[in-house]
């Protein structure tokens, strides 16, 4: 496993997840985005898809496992979503239920990365 390649994947996934967050939630933050789903899909979705494509390619080549790439993508969403949701929508992730889910998601990613 190549750590530098997985770091590249995590960076690409983080940027992609940020685009996805804005695609799905920008209309809750700014009224301008209301009733513009196709515009949001194009503006945010196309770059996100390309970033996910490259990130997945790098992760699979580094680990020889599609599941590792999938779990990294899932895990990185727990990095971007809470920060953006707290910052722009004023919703905290610090509830017992959410924190347990975050802990479990990190456990899942850790198992995929380190269990041989």
pLDDT of residue 114: 84
Query: Could you tell me the mean pLDDT of each successive run of 10 residues in the chain, 116 residues long?
Result: 88 97 97 96 98 97 91 85 93 88 83 82
Domain span including residue 30: 3-114
Torsion-angle region of residue 51: left (phi > 0), alpha (psi -120 to 50) or beta? alpha
Angle between helices 96-114 and 66-89 (to 10 degrees): 150
Alpha-carbon gap, residue 79 to 63, rounded angstroms: 21
Query: What's the domain count of the chain?
Result: 1
Predicted structure pTM score: 0.83
CA separation (Å) from 77 to 39, 40, 61, 89? Answer: 23, 19, 21, 16
């Amino acid at each position: 496993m190549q750590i530098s390649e997985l770091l590249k994947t995590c960076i690409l996934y983080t940027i992609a997840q940020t685009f996805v967050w804005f695609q799905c939630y920008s209309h809750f933050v700014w009224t301008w985005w209301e009733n513009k789903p196709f515009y949001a899909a194009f503006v945010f979705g196309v770059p996100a898809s390309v970033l996910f494509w490259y990130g997945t390619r790098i992760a699979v080549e580094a680990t020889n496992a599609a599941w590792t790439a999938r779990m990294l993508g899932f895990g990185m969403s727990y990095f971007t979503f809470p920060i953006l949701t707290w910052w722009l929508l004023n919703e905290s992730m610090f509830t017992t239920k959410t924190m347990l889910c975050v802990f479990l998601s990190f456990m899942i990613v850790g198992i995929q990365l380190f269990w041989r």
